[in-house]
Structure 1
Amino acid sequence: MTPTPTDFNYADLVSLIVIAIGIFVGYRRKLSGEIAILISVAAALFVGFFFFEPLGVWLATNTDLGINGARIATYVFIILGSSVVMVVLRLVLGKVLKIVIGEEADKIGGAIAGFVRSSIFVLIIFLLMNIIPNENLNRVFGEGSFIGRQTLKILPSIEEVIEEQMDGESTVDV
């Protein structure tokens, strides 16, 4: 049986539930909370990418921690630091946005941001499940799914970008 454009499966149902939860959580967090999370995640990724190794080495040489203990301590430090940044940003942005746009607009903006965040999450999951070379996953998250069929339409262009990036990085002089 070939799927029709309106065929849904359980992956679509779970995705819609995830998106609905994202909208609800975004509404509860408000736009200020969603922005704070976005900024703190970006800051944690930045700090983790650029400072994880140097800070771990510094801790290992200047404390009694071994390199693995220092890496764990660095990881915990980055997580705690980004959590503190998120809480402070959420409080400050909450006050500012409450004054500037009002409570209800802050909630609606949060719901929209929650929708976007959860939709991107669902898209990434579907892309990953279609990239993995597994026939069952590809069927459930691909041709058997409404969202999967839409995702498969953009997959070739994403694969082209990845291949271009890989080709550009593979020119290493030995």
Structure 2
Amino acid sequence: MSGIWAQYALYNRLANETLYEACATLSDEARRRDLGAFFGSVHGTLNHLLLGDRIWMTRFEGGSHPSTDLGAILFEAFDALRAARATMDRRIEAFFVALPADFAERDLRYVNNSGFDTTDPASVILPHFFNHQTHHRAQVHTMLSQLGQDPPVLDLHRVLRPNPA
């Protein structure tokens, strides 16, 4: 069962490494420039993505994450944000490599960010988790273009290709 999810976790890590490498070429001013995205800037969007992953991973691991502003800036400094992203990606990979066989058949009960106690099937939440990451990486990809940077290739089949070409 964990095979496809472990593959997505690997892709997530590699895509984030590639995206952060591209974002590192931006000035701090450019990373923080409000470009009209939902979380404003590259910096805001990268922080949101890390926060979302923290929330979902805590839920997947059986914990609860306090309700918070989804636009919160967790890390002001890009280097600290990048280090936290790398730590989170290792956590995600480790979890999904060892995913219990019945995990996708479970229901996940949690209190959402609006304070509602809710339950969703893991079979819906697992794809949401990885889709959410891809969605926001795509926003950053677009913002890189808006800032005059060449956005990196993030296609799953190219990122996972053993010998990238």
TM-score, length of structure 2 as denominator length: 0.29
The structure carrying a bigger helix percent of its residues is 1
The structure carrying a bigger strand percent of its residues is 2
